[in-house]
Amino acid sequence: MWLRVLARLRYYQQNKTQETISLKKMLTVGFISAGIIASLVIIFGVLMTTFFYNKTHTTNISQKIIDTTPSRLSVTQEKAPDGDKSSRIIKIKSNHEADRYIVTVLGPSGVPVLDSGYEYKVRDNTTQVEFIIPDYPPQEITIGYSTDPKVSHQINVTALYYESKLNQYSRESIQLEYSAQGESR
């Protein structure tokens, strides 16, 4: 499009029979108008993001978390059915819908989880692994992972439930120990 404009301006400059505005004046007016339009677009964009799109909603209401005995949560840990000594399965079942599950595996030394179908992150001390489970998980979850069969580890599962009548959260935690001999306690 700009090539057409420039070609048309050159045509008017070369056509001396008609009264024409000089090329310098046309370019000056064109650049000034383009600058005005560009500045208006930028100002409009800044105003839109400032007043309409960057609204943040914060609340100063703090939530209470009450520790309760595990009445809705059950956790089991077993060897994988394929017979592999290093594969383990954590089965989490809940009678009610939880807002969040926090599943961690702790080992005495080194990283206790070698591989998993679930995404996980290793904590700073490298002896603790936390599985990344999205909020509002299903009532039944199965987490498969592999570990060193010669190393004992501890599994901690915490479920957070929202109590709408009390407007607070309740926390239920279960801890399982896995010894190197293959026993869950």
Query: What is the domain-level CATH number for residue 101?
Result: 2.60.40.10
* 95 found inside a domain: yes
Structure confidence at residue 141 (pLDDT): 94
- Digitized pLDDT (tens) for each residue of the chain, 185 residues in all: 666 776 666 655 565 555 556 767 778 888 999 999 999 999 988 888 777 765 555 555 567 788 888 889 999 988 877 666 678 899 999 999 999 999 999 988 878 888 898 899 998 777 899 999 999 999 999 999 988 888 888 999 999 998 888 888 899 999 998 877 654 54
* 45 found inside a domain: yes
* 112 found inside a domain: yes
Structure confidence at residue 55 (pLDDT): 58
Residues 69, 42, single domain; the answer is: no
> Hey, what are 111's tokens?
């990283």
Q: Is 57 helix (H, G, I), strand (E, B) or coil?
A: coil
Q: By residue range, what is the domain housing residue 31? A: 2-53
* Residue tagged 């383990």 (tokens): 88
Nearest to 107 by CA among 54, 67, 151: 151
128 to 30, 106, 119, 153: CA distances (angstroms): 65, 4, 14, 10
In the chain, how many domains are there? 2
* 110 found inside a domain: yes
Residues 34, 113, single domain; the answer is: no
pTM reported for the whole predicted model: 0.62
CA distance 148 to 163: 39
| Terminal Cα distance for the chain, rounded | 77
Residues 100, 79, single domain; the answer is: yes
Residues 30, 87, single domain; the answer is: no
Q: What are 61-110's pLDDT values in tens digits?
A: 567 788 888 889 999 988 877 666 678 899 999 999 999 999 999 988 87
Domain boundary among 53, 77, 92: 53
How remote is the C-alpha of 24 from its chain's centroid?
A: 56
